[in-house]
Amino acid sequence: MTLPVEKTTRLRFDGIETYLALQLEGHDGATTITFAGPLLHDGGQSIPDFAYGDPQYLTLSILTSNYVLSEIVYLVAYDSASSSGTITRGEEGTLIAMHSFGDKVVHAPTVVDYEMNAEALQAHIDDPQAHISVIQGVVDNGIAAHEAKDDPHPQYLKKASETGDTIIIEAGQTLWIKYGATLLVEGDIVIRDTGRLFINGHQIIVSNDAPVEPIADVVWIQTFGAP
Cα-flanking dihedrals φ and ψ of residue 185, to 5°?
A: -115, 115
Query: For residue 220, what pLDDT band results from cuts at 50, 70 and 90?
Result: confident
The pTM assigned to this predicted structure is 0.54
Q: What is the length of the chain? A: 227
Which residues, at least 6 apart from 30, have a Cβ–Cβ distance to it below 8 Å?
24, 89
**Which residues are bridge partners to 205 per DSSP?**
220
Among the ranges given (9-18, 107-116, 177-186), the one the predictor scored with the smallest mean pLDDT: 177-186
Q: How many Å apart are CA 58 and CA 7, to the nearest integer?
A: 10
Distance from the Cα of residue 160 to its chain's centroid: 28
Mean pLDDT is lowest, of 40-54, 83-97, 133-147, for 133-147
Q: Mean pLDDT across the stretch 90-105?
A: 95
